[in-house]
Amino acid sequence: MPEGPRRSRSGAATIEEVARAAGVSRQTVSNALNAPHRVRAETLERVSTVIRELGYQPDQSARSLRSGARRTIGYLAPVDDPLDPNPLMAGFLEALVDAAGEHGRRVLLFRPARGEADPTAAIDELVAARQVDGLVLADVLTDDPRIAHVARLGIPFAAFGRTGPGQPQHWADIANDAATAGVVRHLAERGHRRIGYLGAAEELPWMAARRAGFLAETGRLGLSAAPLPLPDPTAPAASAEAVRALLRGPDRPTAFATGSDLLALDVYEAVRAEGLAVGPGGVAVTGFYDSPLCRHLHPPLTSVRLPLRAIAAGLVARLLDQVHGGAVPTAGLELPTELVVRASSG
Amino acid sequence: MPEGPRRSRSGAATIEEVARAAGVSRQTVSNALNAPHRVRAETLERVSTVIRELGYQPDQSARSLRSGARRTIGYLAPVDDPLDPNPLMAGFLEALVDAAGEHGRRVLLFRPARGEADPTAAIDELVAARQVDGLVLADVLTDDPRIAHVARLGIPFAAFGRTGPGQPQHWADIANDAATAGVVRHLAERGHRRIGYLGAAEELPWMAARRAGFLAETGRLGLSAAPLPLPDPTAPAASAEAVRALLRGPDRPTAFATGSDLLALDVYEAVRAEGLAVGPGGVAVTGFYDSPLCRHLHPPLTSVRLPLRAIAAGLVARLLDQVHGGAVPTAGLELPTELVVRASSG
DNA sequence: TTTGTGGTTTTGAACGTTCAAAATCGCGAG
DNA sequence: CTCGCGATTTTGAACGTTCAAAACCACAAA
């Protein structure tokens, strides 16, 4: 006398099987999982035991279909220059996955199709297929069309990088200007009075802010600033050459701040080519991003470390606020950076 | 006289609405999408038009629930040393997402929970929740417990890195030994007869293979090999020191191959500290991974580039073969690397 | 005893899709 | 004119879960 299958064909336990084994109804099992306070303590324990014994986990598809909650966050990978990829993407993604995991969410990765210029198409697809509760965007520009698009669609989102004034302020970002200002103060404390700055790709807001922070702080402290002209990205040797020219000039800087660790490499080269040394007694140099590179340079490079975990946590929190329809904050989250001092400026 | 909602509350069109608008049944719309050959040409066109007009896309949850296919690939991020992260993870992920996208699959990212030593727990969770059709694993070791685990569970998987002989051979990898052998040939062609090798973390199979390839090829060509002892990872300065000792010795190498671009940096430093120059006329140096760093070094660093897109494509293909239950190949996929020659060895 | 009442549990329906099977159509053969 | 058959389309059910509402239960108040 068969009374129905004890286990579904796929091998994984279903809620029905748990219910039967625990002598309760489907819904009670569901409640034990989603609203334990509604279940009598004794029942809860019994159900929990069976769940553990059978290794039951709700089928995510069924759950999503019925409840609408996807429990998944989409991450739209920025399409960056393959010659100069954003050096912190790997670290940021790790932090994002962890932050999402702490809220029981997974991260779905996607990118615009190859050769497809319009990133909004990829967003539309993902949203139309109802695969995510919201989106995280990175490398966001001040008036980013992606932000405009998701805002128009009304999808919950959070941006790594500030959004424009007319757009929802669901972002987290570091204080780029304060970061380079801090670098300037650090160098000033070490006695440097004339400081150079090497940037790149200054059309990017974070790069522009770093330069601006440098200029503001040198001005405030009454230091002599020697910002280099913007380098030509197609001729990477050019920036090293410009640094050399500055070092040969009448009023040689004793320190250089830069907008990235790779740019600091150019400064290292220029300093050495001029017969000078990097570090204490010679020319101080600082980088940005604190990439693994820093520890391998000689001397090790002082650099600005980004609080990636805090950024990711902030983004996930802001995103889930929107998903849950709670109070939606209307201000961005600006986080401080940390200056990791090493021998290049110590 | 209402005849039912024309649009569901969530705003997204459903298959039912498409069917109604096109004057056909649900199933015909489904067939138009999943088995167009079963639909009359004229009908297909009409349905397609409506689909386009309404911007319809099937709800992925509903689809998964009914059909069992998740259309999603899980990527288990390796937990690597934060001080020395695998430098190609970002690039590999990009390639993986693209390769998956070409098969209509998405990539779900996950990692073992923070502080959780056992990576199999994360796998179990993902599989129990039936969120993915299969897994891609990276940084796979020869007898990786993760492989043993997924093999035991019978989940489709594909590994970046060779699996052990007793395990299913669903992997793709580069020919690490052939890569360094190629480097040796390249240096030999340039006239170098005594070549040093700097490795690190040689307990990792790919690092060991690079060293082995170096030794094999120098031996085959009758060159003089000067492999350095394994450096102490806790004292990064030590490897540069060892290189210097070699350069001061009686039989100075004229070239150095290394196991990574960062290690090449150490060699640069040692060479300069000895008053020598890197590059033509001086000491030739090569790296591994062809990271963005290479182009920023002075001189630019010759390095081994990995065919990440081919690897990702191979992994996805192998994974989907298993998902579709087709013929399962029993041999790994070994791909050649490309030596990008720059001034450091040119 | 009856009537609430709040806490706990169960029941029926629904989410949007695809599977499996049945129904219909068009057309040539008998 | 009827039958059979392949091509095409439709119908009913099911996937596993949660929502909404109803039912049950123990106990206090009337």
Report pLDDT digits (tens) over B157-206.
Answer: 999 999 999 899 999 999 999 999 999 999 999 999 999 999 988 899 99
Mean pLDDT of A254-279: 94
Query: What's the mean per-residue pLDDT of chain B?
Result: 91
pTM comes to: 0.93
pLDDT at A94: 94
Domain boundaries, chain B: 15-58, 72-174+308-335, 176-305+340-345
Cβ–Cβ < 8 Å for A268, A303? no
For B88-141, write each residue's pLDDT tens digit. Answer: 999 999 999 999 999 999 999 999 988 888 889 999 999 999 999 999 999 999
Q: How far apart, in whole angstroms, are the C-alpha atoms of residue B239 and residue B232?
A: 8
Domain B72-174+308-335: what homologous superfamily?
Response regulator (3.40.50.2300)
Question: Is residue A240 less than 8 Å (CB to CB) from chain B?
Answer: yes
pLDDT at B9: 42
Share above pLDDT 90 across residues of chain B, in percent, rounded to a whole number: 78
Residues 144-203 of A with CB under 8 A from B: none
Write the CA distances from B178 to A240, B161, B216, B339, integer angstroms.
35, 15, 10, 11
**A91 contacts in B (CB within 8 Å)?**
85
A66 SS3 class = helix
Residue of B nearest to A69 (CA): B61
Whether B27 sits with its Cβ under 7 A from any strand C atom: the answer reads yes
Q: What is the CATH number of domain B176-305+340-345?
A: 3.40.50.2300
For A232-256, write each residue's pLDDT tens digit. Answer: 555 556 777 889 999 998 889 999 9
For B227-243, write each residue's pLDDT tens digit. Answer: 776 655 555 567 778 89
pLDDT over 70 (residue A110): yes
Handedness of CA B81, B83, B88, B89 (dihedral sign): positive
Write the CA distances from B5 to A276, B8, B88, B156, B183, integer angstroms.
77, 7, 51, 41, 68
Instruction: Tell me the residue type at A233.
Output: P
Contact A295 B85 (CB under 8 A): no
Find all residues with CB under 8 Å of B78, minimum gap 6, and list them.
Answer: B86, B89, B137, B138, B139
Mean pLDDT of A102-122: 91
Higher pLDDT, A12 or B76: B76
Q: What is the CATH number of domain A15-58?
A: 1.10.260.40
Q: Are strands B338-340 and B302-305 parallel, antiparallel or unpaired?
A: antiparallel
Contact B98 A114 (CB under 8 A): yes
pLDDT over 70 (residue B220): yes
Mean pLDDT of B331-340: 96
| B38 CA, D7 C1': Å apart | 8
Question: Is residue B87 less than 8 Å (CB to CB) from chain A?
Answer: yes
Whether B66 sits with its Cβ under 7 A from any strand C atom: the answer reads yes
For B252-308, write each residue's pLDDT tens digit. Answer: 999 999 999 999 999 999 999 899 999 988 999 999 999 999 998 989 999 999 999
- Chain C nucleotides close to protein (CB under 7 A) are 7-12, 14-21
Residue of A nearest to B102 (CA): A113
Instruction: Tell me the residue type at A125.
Output: E
The DSSP secondary-structure symbol of A339 reads E
**B62 contacts in A (CB within 8 Å)?**
61, 65
Write the CA distances from B123 to B48, B129, B130, integer angstroms.
39, 10, 11
The DSSP secondary-structure symbol of B325 reads T
Question: Is residue B109 less than 8 Å (CB to CB) from chain A?
Answer: yes
Q: How far apart, in whole angstroms, are the C-alpha atoms of residue B96 and residue A107?
A: 15
Q: How far apart, in whole angstroms, are the C-alpha atoms of residue B122 and residue B77?
A: 11
For A312-338, write each residue's pLDDT tens digit. Answer: 999 999 999 999 876 666 789 999 999
Q: Does the fold of domain A176-305+340-345 match that of domain A72-174+308-335?
A: yes
Lowest mean pLDDT among A214-218, A295-299, B184-188, B192-196: A295-299
Q: How far apart, in whole angstroms, are the C-alpha atoms of residue B331 and residue B29?
A: 40
**B70 contacts in A (CB within 8 Å)?**
61
- Which residue's entry shows tokens 């539309």? A124
Q: What is the least distance, in Å, from the CA of B221 to any CA of chain A?
A: 32
Residue nearest to nucleotide D10 (CA to C1'): B25
